[in-house]
Structures are given as C-alpha cells and as structure tokens.
Chain A
C-alpha cells in the first residue's frame, strides 16, 4: 500500500515540477534595440515606423488573440511568424486562437467562455456587434499606422465613424474547382447545383455565406430582409443539399487540396493558397456577382481592460507594411495597407480576382451589411432547419417501429423473467 502512495506522490511531484517549469522564467534582461530585433527576425528596420513597441516590455502581459483559421502568417518556417515577431519586439505574450466563422465568434463572445483582447470579424458582424455594444472604441493615438490604410477602406459602411475597427484583409467569394474533375470553367453559381458533380460539391458551413451564394445566384440583394426571398433561397439550398458532399469551413483546405471534392465556393485568398498547394485547382469569380468582404480588427468589450494598450499596439503592428505584406503573402487575401500593396509582386497586383478595380467592385459585388434582427433570426432558423431537414420520410416510421419493438421486447422479457421467478 505504501508503495502505491509513493507512486501517487511521485506523479503529483512530477506534475508540480512540470507546472513550475511552465511558468515563464522572469525576463530580467533589458530589451535589445528595436533594429537588432527586427533584423534578427528578417525584417527591414527602414520599412518600420518609429512607433515605441518597447514601452510595455517586461510587464508580462498576455494578449488573447482570436482570428479565423489560416488567417495569419504563423507556424511556417519560410515566412516571418508575425506573433513571434510581435512577442520579440514588445515582450508581450500572444495567446493565439482560431474560430471558424463570424457566427461562431459571436457565440463564443456571448457564451462567456472566451475573453479575447483582439478579434477579427467581418463587416456585417462588426456592425452587429457595434449595435449590440460588444465592441470597444479604439484609441487611435495608439494606432498611428491607421494612416497606412488605403483611404477607400476608411469610414466604411459597417463602422461609419471609423471608431471601432481597423481593416485587416479583404477579398471576394469565388468558386474554386479542380480542373481534373470539372470539365468546364464554372463561371456561374449554377455549377454548384450541377448534378454531374453530385457528392463532390462542398458548401459554406455558415448561414450568411451560404445564403449569400443562393442570393447572388438568384439575383437578389445579398442583404435582403424579405422572408419570401429568404424562403426561396432556403429551398434552393435544400435542393442543393441532396448533392452536397459536406458543409465545411476550414476543412475545405484539406478536402480541395487532397482532391476529395471537385467544386466549392470559398474566399479568394484561401483559393489562392489552395491553388499554390495543388496546381490542379483554379478559381473564378462567378458572373452573377459576388460578395465583397472586409475583415477588420476590433477589441471586444469583454476584453481585459488592462490589456487595451497592448491590444492597440498589436493592431498598429499588424498595419506595419512588412507585417501586412507577410500576412497577405501567407494567407493570399488582399491587403488594405497601401505600402504593403506596393511591395507585392506584379503577378499578385495585376490579378483582378485579388485586386479588382473600383468599377468591378461597384458593378459586380455587394458588401454584407447587418440585416435586421428579425431577418437575421429568420435566416438562422431556416439555416438550422436546412441542416436538420432530411428528405428521408422513412425516419419517423422506422423510428416508431424500433421504439415499439424495443418496448415489446423488454416487457416480454420482464414478464417471462417474472414468471420464472414466481416458480
């Protein structure tokens, strides 16, 4: 018995010593000069602003950052790790988490489990969050790099006074397809309803984007609040469900790159990344028009107030030309930072799918805006119903039969057992 106690004690001691190791060793040494750190990171000090990134050094701040999956230059050996660079420069620890969609982020913020200091939602979600008082006003004295943002991205519709957000990346929704599996260039959204590719079609796994496809296909406004129009969209999506292989978000990388699916709608930037990894893939902007989105960096009201300055420092850092360049290089999306755009190679700059001109954006795209709570709730309901609805009418009868069978079986057995026991 004593030996067992010893084992438990050893395990405990081990765990404690491990947890002791985990706590960061106090970094007493002085911060090195900015230039030295930047050069070590492979960044050009010339291109960096003279912002004081060292002023919170040694305060052991941990910044909780939540971003879309695959949406920042990290964990790649060939390109700068943005978070590591920020940590080296500021002494602030970045705790980086990802989420799959705007709606998931919204749920996570509301359900209380998450306390993020930085979030990067899209346009319509930002205005929804502003309306619901979920976002903190930014102190732009701490974010001088706002000056780097192209003027066309300032004071956007979703944040008219430009008080709550700083644009991060933008793009359009396209159709990505595998050229070895699809015989034609899917220039229309109708390709996503093409029965020849039944079982090989992927679809957005979030209501707004999925309904957006149906709306664009039908020629409706992407911001329609009409229940009838939403109903039509829902029935179109239900029709599509029969031939859809799966509803995906970040899972799409794996499936498209691996050739598990033929065709899917997704964001241009991610399509660029997927095409780089698998040359069989290509993408196209459908002729009916599409959604143009901007994702912007915000601070939620639930964030730790002590971290606000660090969070603003982080936002400013993301607007440094070289950092913005690294991010847009890595994730393939388009950058709103003027100097970063200029640093891009010509191929990227001239690709109109990534950098369409203003006229194209005006004529062929529509931005999501925050629709009324009523329309939003209706869309959510339709979406949940779409996800749960199954055309298989046999479910209920089979289920009832199973239930009755189970009840009969158990009762018969019980009765028999009772009879046996009585003897």
Chain B
C-alpha cells in the first residue's frame, strides 16, 4: 500500500474532509462579513464571540447537560450491565433488544417521541421543558453505549476472580468493589467518554426536547445559521476545531509512543530468541 496511487487517493480524501473546515477557519479572521471576499485580517470576531452571552450560556448549558447525563448514564448503564450479565436468556434478550432501539432508531423519531412524552408530562404534572427534559433525553440515548462498553469486559472477566477475592478474606461487597469494578473500569470509562461525546454533539434530540429557557450550543448554532450569518460562527468552529485537534493529537502521540515502545520490546524479544 505504499503505491503512489493510494497515497494520492488518501490525500484527496483528507483534503475533502478538511477543506471546508479550513475555509471556515480562514474566514473567521476576515474583516468583512462576507464569506467569499478577503478584506483583511482581524480578531474582532473572536472578541465578539466572547462577548456574546447567548453563545457562552448555551456552551455552559451543553457542558452541564453532557456531564450530568453521561455521569448518570454511566451509573445506570453499569448497573444494568451487571444485572444483564447475570440474567437468563429470555430476560437478557428482551432487555438487550430494547437497548438497541435508541442506537438504531433515527434520531428524529427519538426526538419527537420524547417530545410527545414530555408534552404529556407538561399537561398532566407540574413540569417544564428545560434542563430536566434535556438530561432525561440525553441519558436515554447515552445508556446503551455504556452498556455496550461494559458488557464485553464483564464477559471477559475471569469468573474465579470474585471467589479468589473472597478466599483472600473480602466480604462479597468488598470483593465487588475491589475486584469486579477495577476489572471493568476501562469499559466504564470508555462508555462514559462515548456518552459524553454523544451528548456534546447531539443536535436532533436536543432540538425537540429543549424548551424556551435552556438552549444547548448545537441548537443555538442552528438558529444562528438561519438568520443573518455572522463570522462569529466561524470563530466558534475554529476554537472547537483547535481544541479537539489538540486533544486528539496529544492522545495520538501518547499512544504512538506506547506503540513504538511495544514494537521495540517485541523486536528485542525476537532478537533475543534468534540469538538463542
């Protein structure tokens, strides 16, 4: 796969993926509001962005919703995974079947169905659209990802682990917290991260379940793209891009280092073997 044609292919593909974003970022430094004419460099849009209370509030809303929803979803999902893992066939199949629904169901259907449900709550109980509806909705689509991440870890766990812990003098509770939880922790953590990402990125479900008072960032962005467009959006995209790219690149560097280390180790081991 070192052939020239595949290299060219990959370059074209990644250009396709990055070009629009780069254009967006470049024009965040443009003096005029135009999205096609370059009139000069400015940082005004960034300053304007940080003065825009609506954007800042909705950013904060997004963080609050995503953190609350993913933490609660992680707790709920981990418990569910533990329970499901001990279930018999039928119960397991039913519960896992229902768990698929939020994953495969089109987001718009999830959005409108929850909207109808919350509307019902509003008319029958003292209830309002806002943080509560958003967090409830987000938990609902977050939990399956936690379950999917935790279950395989549970299944891969050595069944004798708990017994061993008990033999070593733990009571069942201690055994659970000292042996089981650490064993499945990587799964819980990646489930949490996934839930967090989905919550931060979500638009469709939030669009239908946010009321008047609480607006997550994605909903704000959508309403901004509908009225007179401001380069503030470009500035916002640029910041998001830089933050995400930085996180991903750092993660990648760390992983690559580990990878190189492993490779070197295995090579050394192989050489050792050859020498023998």
Contact = CB atoms under 8 A, between A and B. Distances in A.
A touches B in complex, CB < 8 A: yes
Interface of A: 1, 4, 8, 11-12, 15, 18-19, 22, 62, 64, 66, 69-70, 95, 97-98, 100, 111-116, 249-251, 253-254, 258
Nearest to B223: A98
B263 interface: no
B182 to A, nearest CB: 6
Contacts, number: 74
A254 B122 contact: no
A250 B227 CA distance: 5
B34 interface: yes
Given A95-B213, A111-B115, A115-B211, A253 B57 contact: no
7 contacts: A18-B64, A64-B212, A113-B129, A113-B212, A249-B226, A254-B229, A258-B35
B220 to A, nearest CB: 10
Contacts of B122: 112
B89 interface: no
A253 B212 contact: no
Interface in B18-43: 34-36
Interface of A is mostly: mixed
- What 7 A-B pairs are tightest by C-beta distance, nearest first? A112-B119, A69-B227, A250-B227, A15-B67, A253-B228, A114-B212, A64-B212
Given A15-B67, A64-B212, A111 B119 contact: yes
Contacts of B34: 258
Contacts of B63: 15, 18
Nearest to B210: A113
Nearest to B63: A15
A22 B60 contact: yes
B212 A4 contact: no
B208 A112 contact: no
B64 A112 contact: no
B96 interface: no
Contacts of A97: 212
A112 B226 contact: no
A396 to B, nearest CB: 22
* Chain B interface size, under 10 / 10 to 19 / 20 to 34 / 35 or more: 20 to 34
Interface string B53-72: 00001001001100110010
B99 interface: no
Contact of A66 (B68, B118, B208, B212): B212
Contacts of B208: 113
Given A111-B119, A115-B213, A258-B35, 19 more contacts: A8-B71, A12-B67, A12-B71, A15-B63, A15-B64, A15-B68, A18-B63, A22-B60, A69-B226, A112-B115, A112-B122, A112-B123, A113-B119, A114-B212, A115-B211, A115-B212, A249-B226, A250-B228, A258-B36
A15 B69 CA distance: 12
A253 B115 CA distance: 31
Contact of A113 (B60, B67, B211): B211
Contacts of B68: 15
B211 A114 contact: yes
